[in-house]
Amino acid sequence: MKKLLLSLLLLTACSPHQDYIQDVNIFTSVDPQLQVYFNRYTAKTGLSTAGVTGGFIALPSGVAGMCVYNSVSNEVRIDPAYWASIQNNDILLEQLVFHELTHCVLHLGHIYDVAPNGQPLSIMYPVAFNATQGIYLQSRETDYISAMIGNVPITYP
């Protein structure tokens, strides 16, 4: 059990090697569990997710989510085991989906900036936020979303 928990804690938001890959879509729509976050993304950013599909599929070890692109449309893929491990933490679910949608909608890469205490300064940080980091994200969500759209880190504090 400890090994499983450690493995889940080490999962990244998206793999540095496979976070934004070219491939064919496997989903034809958006899974209802993800649709809530797609709708929220549009409401909070003003950006459309039209043409982006999404669903759950087992991903390579260490990968929580990814954006897949091709000449037709883009797709968000989320690892179901990781999703289940954060199911009761809405801000972490939102961070994961917003991260992948930003790859798919704005075609942005990662931002690696962190505060001295290790707090990621962008939703586009390549490692999924932990619960403590999620609390800070939630307290400054407007700043994080504006910075995400602008492809810059937030200022700390």
- What tens digit of pLDDT does each residue of 46-92 get? 999 999 999 999 999 889 999 998 877 899 999 999 999 999 999 99
In this prediction, what percent of the chain has a pLDDT beyond 90?
79
Report how far residue 92's alpha carbon sits from residue 52's, in angstroms, rounded to the nearest whole number: 21
More confident position, 136 or 16: 136
At 4, the pLDDT band (50, 70, 90 cuts) reads very low
Residue 58 is assigned to a structural domain of this protein: yes
Q: Which domain holds residue 74?
A: 2-150
Number of compact structural domains in the chain = 1
What is the enclosing helix (H) or strand (E) of 86?
Answer: none
Report how far residue 71's alpha carbon sits from residue 123's, in angstroms, rounded to the nearest whole number: 26
The predicted model scores a pTM of 0.88
Residue 8 is assigned to a structural domain of this protein: yes
